[in-house]
Structure 1
Amino acid sequence: MPKRGKKKEEDGVLPEKAVADVLCLQETKCSEKQLPAEIRDLAEYPHKYWACSDDKEGYSGVALISKVKPLDVKYGIGEEEHDKEGRVITAEFPSYFLVTAYVPNAGRGLVRLEYRQRWDVSFRSYLQGLASRKPLILCGDLNVAHEEIDLKNPKGNKKNAGFTPEERAGFTKLLEAGFIDTFRHFYPDTAYAYTFWTYMMNARAKNVGWRLDYFLVSKDLLEGVCDSKIRSTALGSDHCPITLYVAI
């Protein structure tokens, strides 16, 4: 999440010298004690914060890695039902909050859709509470493609996790609560812009994907946002990185 002002790139490649001030990671599936040495000893980012599932090893998890020490760091959203899976870290900096989140998937057969709807209500309330105190940035795998433009096959996925009417309505309510989808703010009509591709059926090579990963900001921070990019050429996962340029 560099804060150097706007830079233009070609093919979605991060400029060589543009190094993020903060890295947010989702679905880490790893506790801090299991981290490889090259991550634990990453000198450029001395402040590292990890959350993982209380019940399932190798499940869920988020991390926040920063060059600058936050004023405060909080794990979870303050509700036991939602906090046992290690899905949220909030870092408070002098002029803003930064939240990294891995939102629950509704699951195959929508077995967790009802839970996901409860999560959406609680998480939205949590974010609104933070945003009432100072500007907020949310970075996360939000596990929803909001509009038909946000996935390759909308007609065939309306009953599948990530594109149900209930999940999409939850995201709409988040926007109505005063948060801005930064990518769509800058690129409202850009199609085929995805952040996730299943490993099956050569989906990534065919760009059969979903936009599931977002930077949302509270309205009072929007003026400082310079750009919001999808790094679709960066390999190594079934998701790709996204980058927010913001002057704070």
Structure 2
Amino acid sequence: MMRIVSWNVNGVRAIAKKGFSQWLATEHPDVLCLQETKASPDQLTEELTAPSGYHAYFSSAVKKGYSGVAIYSRQKPLDVTSLGVTRFDDEGRVLVAEYPGFTLITAYFPNSQDGGKRLDYKLDFCRTIHDYCNVITGRDRPLIVCGDFNVAHKPIDLARPKENETSPGYLPEERAWMDQFIDSGYVDTFRMFNADGGHYTWWSYFTKGRERNIGWRIDYHCVNRPAAAMVRSAGILNTVMGSDHCPVDVVIDADPTR
């Protein structure tokens, strides 16, 4: 069995001051995928660039202190690459890790921003990721896509859907893309095990939403059909503090070495 945890940390240097290394040592997932690291490796201490027991990989934005993703893996992957598309790699949006039995993508999907200022960029990213996933799926290879998708898919996935119909992350165009993604054969692993509302992964600091559980579920592990057969559990670690997001996890029936 392998446990894969994904977490938008809203700044890895900030979370390092809030007990992150101790949490990682205690939780000890097989793979930890981070989004919104807001740092390049040369800005980080050794406990973040080479945590004990892990191989570490980073894709950082050209713009300092912005975006970025990372993978910490106990087993060294066969290969780790970025997406290979400059306009997205320059923002540190994606890492792709190849393991013997599956492919893992971690992604920090763009925020469409107020007034949809980056909606076109986001939808371009979504289509590019979808196409990339389809190539892997076309080879019948198990695929896991995790990260901050920056979209609440259905009304059940946020506390106040009516009030947010024109908000970034719940725009009709964003939800329509998520519909297309799921309808094309990808599975939201959390919904394999839990059909209830009230489960969120992001809460606004500004409105103190976490205290009242007024949140959004925008962090996912999605899988293709070959990988869905490997999934044993999926959950939300909503008691873990340190970011405006909480981690999400999935357990798959896989051996990282073969």
TM-score, normalised relative to structure 2: 0.86
Match of 2:9 in 1: none
Matched, 1:185 2:192: yes
Please name the residue that 2:59 is paired with. 51
Point out which structure has higher relative CO (alpha carbons under 8 A, 6+ apart): 2
**CA 1:18–1:85 in structure 2 vs 1: closer, same or farther (change >3 Å)?**
closer
The one-letter code matched in structure 2 to 1:21 is: D
Task: Pick from 133, 136, 157 the counterpart of residue 164 of structure 2.
Answer: 157
**Paired AA for residue 129 in structure 1:** V
Where in structure 1 are there 5+ consecutive unaligned residues?
Answer: 5-13
Correspondence 1:169 to 2:204: no
Query: CA shift at 1:3, angstroms?
Result: 4.3
* 3-state SS of paired residue (2:208): helix
Q: Could you tell me which of 31, 34, 37 is aligned with 2:40? A: 31
CA distance in 2, matches of 1:17, 1:65: 14
Alignment: residue pair count: 234
Instruction: Decide whether aligned partners of structure 1 residues 17 and 105 sit closer, same or farther in structure 2, where only a CA change above 3 A counts.
Output: closer
Q: How do 1:111-126 residues align onto structure 2 when only pairs under 5 Å count? A: 111-126=117-132
The secondary structure found in structure 1 opposite 2:250 is strand
In 2: Cα distance, 1:208 partner to 1:143 partner: 16
> What's 1:81 paired with?
87
1:102 maps onto 2:111 in alignment: no
Q: Which amino acid aligns with 1:196?
A: W
Q: Distance between the aligned counterparts of 1:79 and 1:175, measured in 2? A: 23
Give identity over the alignment, percent: 43
> How far apart are residue 17 of structure 1 and its match?
7.4
Q: Deviations over 1:121-160 (max 9, x none)?
A: 1110011112223110111100000000000110011111
Task: After TM superposition, give the deviation of residue 94 of structure 1 in Å.
Answer: 0.5
Summarize the Cα distance change of 1:17–1:115 in structure 2 as closer, same or farther, 3 Å threshold.
closer
2:77 matched residue in structure 1: 70
CA distance in 2, matches of 1:3, 1:117: 30
Q: Is the Cα–Cα contact under 8 Å of residues 128 and 177 in structure 1 kept in the other structure?
A: no
2:99 maps to 93
CA–CA separation in structure 1 for the residues paired with 2:191 and 2:75: 29
Q: For residue 216 of structure 2, give the secondary structure of its aligned residue in structure 1.
A: coil
Which amino acid letter does the alignment assign opposite residue 158 of structure 1? Answer: E
Secondary structure of 1:205's aligned partner: helix
Cα separation, partners in 2 of 1:37 and 1:59, compared to 1, 3 Å: same
> Matches of 2:101 and 2:69 in 1, distance apart?
23
Unaligned runs of 5+ residues in structure 2 are 5-22
Query: Which SS does the other structure have where 1:43 is aligned?
Result: coil
Distance 2:220 2:185 in 1: 15
Q: CA deviation at 1:79?
A: 2.2
Contact 2:33–2:106 under 8 Å retained in 1: yes
Distance in 1 (CA, whole Å) between partners of 2:97 and 2:45 is 23
CA distance in 2, matches of 1:35, 1:144: 29
Contact 2:3/2:31 (8 A) holds in 1: no
What displacement does 1:239 show?
Answer: 0.1
The TM-score normalised by the length of structure 1 is 0.90
Aligned in 2, Cα 1:17/1:81: closer, same or farther, shift over 3 Å?
closer
Query: Structure 1 stretch 195-204 or stretch 143-152: which is displaced more?
Result: 195-204
- Equivalent in the alignment of 1:214: 220
